[in-house]
Structures are given as structure tokens and as C-alpha cells.
Amino acid sequence: MRGMKHASWVMMGVLTLAVGCQPETEPSTSGTGSPVASHTGALTAGSWSANSPMDAPRAGHTATLLDSGRVLVTGGYAFYPMRSAELYDPYSDTWSPTGSMLELRSDFTATQLGSGLTLVAGGLIFRQAPSGTAELYDPATGTWRFTGRLVQPRTRHSATLLDSGRVLLTGGDVPTPSGGTSSGTTSAELYDPATGTWSATGSMSQARVGHGIAKLYSGEVLVTGGTVAYTPRASVELYSPSTGTWRAVSPMTLARSGHSATRLDSGYVLVVGGSTGSGVTASAELYDPFNDRWLPAGSLNKVRTAHQALLLYSGQVLVVGGVGDGSGPSMGAELYDPSTNTWTPVGNAQGQASVGAALLQTGQVLVTGGFNANNGVTSSVSRYTP
């Protein structure tokens, strides 16, 4: 029963998305109006390899690439939320223990700061109680320390590193007077690493859980869809860090939550999959921020929600994990090629939901833990080589 409850959380899960840091260029388009990436080589399927397993099985955790090239895997849950952390060395394929967080956490966010420290914020601590704390991990000492207190305790929210170095938290589930969690909040807040403090910023027009988020080349933050009272929305908002305010932009063509949103090299944003309220979808669409319009993108080969999407160095997008038909994990991974606007299956990425994934300095992708096909939490690890 506990595993099934966590599986339902996966359907509502918020993904912290990595965005590219390439210089902005105006996108070109193909004959169908879809953006063409700067690369022109043919898509290759790549390969998967099994790697050394983690010391502990976990799902709902985070995997963060450190400046050293190692990966910090933190928190999550097996039967209950965890505070333990471990480090993966991709060059020796080995795991080593590191300091544990000061608080139990699952379904939280982890953000790599410009200082090299890792910020974790919010999450579930126990019995579905959202956390109002944040911690910093110092890779030089392998230790954690608390840093400020969130304005609003929250879980299943999103976190975005702004150009200023501050971190924006948006939406998520928040506490109710009865001690449970709500079905979403409109609130947003900012973390200032210079002072170690949190402050409120402008609220979104709608409460959101399971929304997709991407930082644009302009420095603005695009928030797409998500659920309001468990009903997926098509609405989209744009946050301006300079004014701390939100404005509505063109809605998606399909209401969805639990989807991914990834900024492409062209500046367009690729929105993939998610739950529509009537089921899980394979559809994808592209947001053109230069003209505030949505364009069709090729559909996935399999339906998928609560997955992770990673922008590769090639400009292609790898989608892994998530939930497919029913409540089971979505098997396999798929690769999106912006130059052809198509998806290609690229083998089996453990086939797990609620995984932690990170793009390595080598250009490979590390996929850790999650739920297996039997809905059990696993410690297995695999690596994708483009």
C-alpha cells in the first residue's frame, strides 16, 4: 500500500529541469514550421550499460552533477522518506557515502549553485507533511547545513536557477490546517545565496502542481500547465525576474500535468507527454517565445508522464522514466531530434518511474533508482552513451 501511494505521487510529480547555457540564436524552421537545431548530423540510437548499483534503493530522490564531475544522489524514499546521500564517480563506476541531510526528504528539489554548493528545498518529511526548510551541501567537506526557512513549506514544486544566481521556487503542494497537503499553491519565492534567506515574489495566476518549467534565453521563466484541484490546465505564464511579476502567454494546445518542458538550443521550448485528465498522452508541442505561439511536435512512440527530459550536448533531448499506461513504469527511453521533429526509441533505461537522472560531463546520461516493473523501489543504475 505504501508503494502504491508513492506511485500515485509520481503521477503528480514535479520535475526539476536542466536548461542549456548556449548563447541565444534565432531559430530557423523546417517546412512544417518546427525549429531546426544547430546540429545537422543524423540521429544515432546510442547504447545503454548497467553500472554499479547505489548503496541504498531509493525513488523520489535527486541526482545532481557537481563541479568535480561526480553525481550527488540525495534523499528520496524506500518505505519512508530518507536523509542519506551518496556520491557516484562516473570515471571509476563507484559509489561512496557522504554526509546525510539534516532532515528527511522526498519529492524535493536540488539546485546546483554557482558557488559549487547544492541547495535542497522543501519536500515531504513524513506522513505527507511538506517541509519548510532548505539545506546546503558543501562538496569540499561532505556536510550539510540549514540555510534560511522557506516562506511557504512545499513539496512537488519546481526550482529554477536564475541568471542573477538566485533560485526561484514555484507552486507545489502546501500544508493544510488539518496537517495534510493542498492540491496546489499560486505562491512563488526566491532564495538569495548571498544572504542565505528566502523572500516572497509575485504569485502565479493559478495554483500549480506537476507543472513544467524552463528558463528562456531572455532570463524569464516559462511555467506550463500543471494541475489545479487535480484538473490539468493548458494555461502558461511567464515570470520576469526584473519585476518579480507574472504575465499570461498563449496556452498550450492540450491541458497537461506531469509533463516535461525543455529549452532547446533554438530557444524554443519542447513540452512532452503528461496526464490530460482522461489519460496519459504521447503528444508533444513546441513553444516559440519569439512569437508567443505553439507549434506541433512529433509524438512519442509511447505515452509517458512524470518522466525526466535532458538536453544533450548534441541538441537532442533524451526522455527517460515516468509512468505509462495504467500505473506501471513507462519502459524504455526515447530521443528527440529537433532537425527532423521526430522521436526514436533508444532502448531500455531501466524502465523505471520516479528516477533521478543527470547529464554527465562526458555527455552521457546517468539514470538512478526509481520504481521497477513490480512497483518496488530499486538501487539499480544505468548509463546512456549517445
- Cβ–Cβ under 8 Å, residues 125 and 107: no
pTM of the model: 0.89
Strand order, beta sheet including 167-170: 158-161, 167-170, 188-192, 197-201
Q: What is the largest CA-CA distance in the chain?
A: 56
What is the H or E stretch that residue 143 is in? Answer: strand 143-149
Single-letter code of the amino acid located at 70: R
Residue 1 CB contacts under 8 Å (≥ 6 apart), including other chains: none
Which of 1.10.287.3510, 2.60.120.10, 2.120.10.80, 3.40.50.720 is the CATH number of 2-385? 2.120.10.80
In order along its 386 residues, the chain shows pLDDT tens digits of: 333 333 333 333 333 333 333 333 334 444 334 454 433 344 567 999 999 999 999 999 999 999 999 999 999 999 889 999 999 999 999 999 999 999 999 999 999 999 999 999 999 987 678 999 999 999 999 999 999 999 999 999 999 999 999 999 999 999 887 766 677 899 999 999 999 999 999 999 999 999 999 999 999 999 999 998 889 999 999 999 999 999 999 999 999 999 999 999 999 999 999 999 899 999 999 999 999 999 999 999 999 999 999 999 999 999 998 888 765 565 689 999 999 999 999 987 665 778 999 999 999 999 999 988 777 899 999 999 99
- Helical ranges in 107-147 per DSSP H: none
Domain residue ranges of the chain, discontinuous segments joined by + = 2-385
